[in-house]
């Protein structure tokens, strides 16, 4: 037995709700487009700067942590610090490559 569920209600309230929903969506579309393409580009630029900053801070903290471990002779300089450096390099390259490909797709 299938349950007949009507999301908008039933009867005349169904049409009224649908009309209100369409009206609300039309209004928000106009408001969303008011900024134009420039607002979207500046938002993406802000996000890209934020992403680079957060990744750089986390990478520096990670390298600092591994460096302290190496100074305390708990880890090896060549193997552990070298691996950490390569991980940071690959992560940074991934973030820069993602930003580049995203900008390339926007053109």
Distance, CA of 105 to CA of 101 (rounded, Å): 6
Per-residue model confidence as pLDDT tens digits over 38-88: 666 666 677 777 878 888 888 889 999 999 999 898 888 888 889 999 999
- Where do the domains of the chain lie? 1-34, 36-106
pLDDT on residue 48: 73
Q: Which one has a higher pLDDT value, 16 or 72? A: 72
pLDDT on residue 7: 53
Distance, CA of 66 to CA of 83 (rounded, Å): 10
Q: Which residues contact 76 (CB under 8 A, 6 or more apart)?
A: 70
Q: What is the pTM of this model?
A: 0.53
DSSP summary character for residue 35? S
pLDDT band with cut points at 50, 70 and 90 for residue 96:
confident
């Amino acid at each position: 037995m299938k349950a007949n569920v009507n999301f908008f209600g039933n009867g005349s309230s169904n049409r009224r709700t649908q009309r209100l929903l369409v009206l609300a969506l039309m209004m928000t579309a106009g408001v969303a487009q008011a900024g134009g393409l420039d607002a979207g580009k500046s938002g993406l630029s802000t996000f890209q700067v934020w992403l680079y900053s957060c990744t750089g801070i986390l990478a520096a903290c990670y390298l600092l942590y591994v460096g302290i471990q190496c100074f305390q002779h708990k880890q090896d300089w060549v193997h552990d610090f070298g691996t950490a450096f390569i991980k940071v390099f690959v992560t940074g390259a991934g973030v820069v490559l993602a930003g580049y490909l995203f900008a390339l797709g926007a053109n």
